[in-house]
Chains A and B, each alone.
Chain A
């Protein structure tokens, strides 16, 4: 009996000595992922911020001087900042607006019991399957001033007398990049709204019909209130994507003509990778990040303020 007790105590001591608490065990399991995130995400973010506080240009790499927030002051007071901010905000607004209206329309159509509904839904998803770069190159060909499909189409209908440059005309360059961006980012938004539509109980529409509500009234008083949260999610995704836009600008207009389509993100790229001014480039990038953060917080407050999502 005593021997058995001794053995039990010994085994207990063996196991207790290395026993982990529930929390510690969870951390242990997550450690690889945490280390990976720290290494690949947190470190570059902190390092980029640290670089943004230094004067550091790869053309004079021996000069590495701590300048505090001077790079941020330089960025905000530069001639390019306000025009770029204006271009970015306008681009974001019109892209978001365009996506919201079109995605809502597409979701409403795809939600109807119509023939070939699966095919329609697949078609809605198609642009999402293409990367931003491929999309931009496709639009570059569509807008080509000498052999573009858009010119060919409009010319064949007699709507234009000559082929023209859509990307480098001051009147149309903006519209062109917004069109390309809307086309590329439409599908996820349409999906979110479609999911929202499918969550609306059909009894509500039945009740509205009994009350002889018109189509518009049903949309206004049933559909829209139920879609408010999905719409907010679409607004967040689109706004944040719009603020950070780079690939479409880079491939379609290069920020031109002049500086007409130079966004904050593109200015950050030019400063970092063409001028190789890493200090100022990171300050530009952090300015974009701060702007994105402010908008994200604003939207989050709207989203969580309702209480629905949290519940």
Chain B
């Protein structure tokens, strides 16, 4: 048996190892080189994974095939990063961009995990990226940190901004500079199940919170629904939008422009809203707050879409959510409360504390921005002008397509008058005038520009939950949250 511990490593062995390593290196060096980047071949785009293309999808044909081999040596590869919403549809849009712009190839990387953490890590590592998705809540801090670069203000960009709704155009700017073009935008709506409201004996949906309470109580008494009202009161950095919705609808705010909390004393609306919620949970029992505190399970139907006690009934009759959810609410294959051939889930201007409430709603904006690590700004500009603006044929191609296929809102005004868009809209929104009015009432959540926003917001959520569980009074809960906001503000001012 050889004694391995005494084994020696002689010169010959060393030489043999060296020769073998060198030979391997030589072999590797002689191996055929990897094929060059594929030319921008405008061959037929890959088939979408969606089985059925909605009739309303843009019908404009892709431009004619562009030269291939000739441009092979001049292809610029662009890197696009975004969260992983509908990657196949994004890829189809990019395929079209490559067809229209043969000198570009786009590598798209959908990020499945926490987008914020992922991007911040890449920013720190100076990872090369050319175009990225940006959420409105990241906008200010990313600009301030130098992660984004402003767009070149050409006539073309200025014209696009002039066609946007004011909220969207304002959101993408910072200190007079423009930082992106819109991916999509949307706002929250107060949705209701028309059949349940009618069967409860009401001829119109609630316009105030008092009316909402009354209708919900009647539904409860009649056995139409045990808890007719649903709210998202779960905890998470992007949860509990309902507190914004109810507060805005009644004209309230949470933070002023300096980041100072205006509740619970200066602005009484948030306290009144929380008191209403607590009573709805514990006294009137029209809201199952404990169940609604759970973060919805992935893949589960929302309470508005679950099967109620009768066909056309949902688990609840009232719920606030994004406008684009209305489409799925009314699609029988995606909602058990949908009624085929009828728009059963409608929306109304968000009920407020009284009849004079302004019915404002939180809105949000997602845009394409250019990171400071982009190698060639002009190339990045070409891509975002296509994705967030017009294509070479002069159409708002991607914005329109997102609306037609997934009901993602358009930040531009002019495409709303497009017949295709109007036809599609009428499939799931009964009153397009009401939609335009609600669109004009959208406003950004308070304080998104402050770096401590998430910390404050999650603490606010915990306090709201404690109030709903009667572990604190509404005043104590909001006072604790306001104190937290002040402490965070002070802490960050000292940094």
Taking Cβ atoms with an 8 Å cutoff, the residues of A that contact B are 14-15, 17-20, 22, 25-26, 55, 57-63, 137, 140-141, 144-146, 162-165, 167-170, 254-259, 270, 273-277
Per-position 1/0 for B167-197, Cβ under 8 A of A: 0000000000000000000000000000000
* Chain A CB within 8 A of B272 CB: no
- Bound state CA distance, A163 and B227, in angstroms? 12
Stretch at the interface among B6-14, B47-55, B247-255: B6-14
Shortest A32–chain B CB gap in Å is 16
Is B117 a contact partner of A276 (Cβ separation < 8 A)?
A: yes
Is A254 a contact partner of B120 (Cβ separation < 8 A)?
A: no
Contact of A26 among B5, B145, B288, B294 (CB under 8 A): B5
The 8 closest A-B pairs by CB, nearest first: A145-B291, A165-B290, A168-B293, A59-B451, A258-B466, A58-B120, A168-B290, A165-B291
Q: List 12 A-B contacts (CB under 8 A).
A: A19-B8, A60-B141, A60-B144, A141-B297, A144-B294, A144-B297, A162-B226, A165-B290, A168-B293, A169-B290, A256-B235, A257-B465
Question: Which residues of the partner chain A approach B9 to less than 8 Å between Cβ atoms?
Answer: 18, 20
Question: Which residues of the partner chain B approach A164 to less than 8 Å between Cβ atoms?
Answer: 290-291
Question: Which residues of the partner chain A approach B234 to less than 8 Å between Cβ atoms?
Answer: 254, 256
Is B120 a contact partner of A165 (Cβ separation < 8 A)?
A: no
Contact of B294 among A55, A63, A165 (CB under 8 A): A165
Is A146 a contact partner of B291 (Cβ separation < 8 A)?
A: yes
Among A15, A141, A257: residue with most chain B CB under 10 A: A257
Shortest B143–chain A CB gap in Å is 12
Contact of A259 among B123, B226, B462 (CB under 8 A): B462
Task: Given A146-B303, A273-B114, decide whether A170 and B291 contact each other with a Cβ distance below 8 A.
Answer: no
Contact of A61 among B120, B291, B466 (CB under 8 A): B120
Is B123 a contact partner of A61 (Cβ separation < 8 A)?
A: yes
Is A20 a contact partner of B117 (Cβ separation < 8 A)?
A: no
Nearest to B488 among chain A residues (CB) is: A275
Is B495 a contact partner of A63 (Cβ separation < 8 A)?
A: yes
Nearest to B138 among chain A residues (CB) is: A59
In addition to A61-B123, A144-B294, A257-B466, 14 A-B residue pairs with Cβ atoms within 8 Å of each other are A26-B5, A57-B495, A58-B121, A60-B451, A140-B297, A168-B465, A169-B290, A170-B469, A256-B293, A257-B465, A257-B469, A258-B463, A259-B462, A270-B458
Contact of A18 among B14, B451, B458 (CB under 8 A): B14
Is B120 a contact partner of A276 (Cβ separation < 8 A)?
A: yes
Shortest A236–chain B CB gap in Å is 33
Task: Given A165-B290, A165-B291, A165-B294, decide whether A20 and B8 contact each other with a Cβ distance below 8 A.
Answer: yes
Taking Cβ atoms with an 8 Å cutoff, the residues of B that contact A are 4-11, 14, 114, 116-117, 120-121, 123-124, 141, 144-146, 226, 234-237, 288, 290-291, 293-295, 297, 303, 306, 315, 451, 454-455, 458, 462-463, 465-466, 469, 471, 495
Is B14 a contact partner of A258 (Cβ separation < 8 A)?
A: no
Is B235 a contact partner of A254 (Cβ separation < 8 A)?
A: yes
Is A22 a contact partner of B294 (Cβ separation < 8 A)?
A: no
Nearest to A21 among chain B residues (CB) is: B5
Nearest to A163 among chain B residues (CB) is: B291
- Bound state CA distance, A258 and B306, in angstroms? 27
Is B495 a contact partner of A258 (Cβ separation < 8 A)?
A: no
Contact of B7 among A25, A63, A165 (CB under 8 A): A25
Shortest A73–chain B CB gap in Å is 14
Among A60, A164, A254: residue with most chain B CB under 10 A: A254
Shortest A274–chain B CB gap in Å is 5
Is A258 a contact partner of B465 (Cβ separation < 8 A)?
A: yes
Question: Which residues of the partner chain B approach A146 to less than 8 Å between Cβ atoms?
Answer: 291, 303, 306, 315
Is B455 a contact partner of A22 (Cβ separation < 8 A)?
A: no
Question: Which residues of the partner chain A approach B291 to less than 8 Å between Cβ atoms?
Answer: 145-146, 163-165, 168
Shortest B464–chain A CB gap in Å is 9
Question: Which residues of the partner chain A approach B145 to less than 8 Å between Cβ atoms?
Answer: 59-62
Shortest A269–chain B CB gap in Å is 11
Task: Given A254-B236, A257-B293, A259-B462, decide whether A18 and B116 contact each other with a Cβ distance below 8 A.
Answer: no
- Bound state CA distance, A144 and B123, in angstroms? 39
Nearest to A17 among chain B residues (CB) is: B11
Shortest B33–chain A CB gap in Å is 31
- Bound state CA distance, A63 and B145, in angstroms? 10
- Bound state CA distance, A275 and B451, in angstroms? 9
Shortest B229–chain A CB gap in Å is 14
Is B11 a contact partner of A14 (Cβ separation < 8 A)?
A: yes
Question: Which residues of the partner chain A approach B293 to less than 8 Å between Cβ atoms?
Answer: 165, 168, 256-257
- Bound state CA distance, A15 and B111, in angstroms? 56
Question: Which residues of the partner chain B approach A55 to less than 8 Å between Cβ atoms?
Answer: 495
Shortest B289–chain A CB gap in Å is 8
Shortest A83–chain B CB gap in Å is 11
Question: Which residues of the partner chain B approach A59 to less than 8 Å between Cβ atoms?
Answer: 120, 141, 145, 451
Nearest to B472 among chain A residues (CB) is: A258
Question: Which residues of the partner chain A approach B455 to less than 8 Å between Cβ atoms?
Answer: 275, 277
Shortest A33–chain B CB gap in Å is 17
Question: Which residues of the partner chain B approach A14 to less than 8 Å between Cβ atoms?
Answer: 10-11
- Bound state CA distance, A55 and B451, in angstroms? 14
Question: Which residues of the partner chain B approach A144 to less than 8 Å between Cβ atoms?
Answer: 294, 297
Shortest B247–chain A CB gap in Å is 20
Is A167 a contact partner of B124 (Cβ separation < 8 A)?
A: no
Shortest A142–chain B CB gap in Å is 11
Question: Which residues of the partner chain A approach B124 to less than 8 Å between Cβ atoms?
Answer: 58, 61
Is B458 a contact partner of A274 (Cβ separation < 8 A)?
A: yes
Shortest B473–chain A CB gap in Å is 14
- Bound state CA distance, A257 and B289, in angstroms? 11
- Bound state CA distance, A135 and B294, in angstroms? 17
Nearest to A79 among chain B residues (CB) is: B484
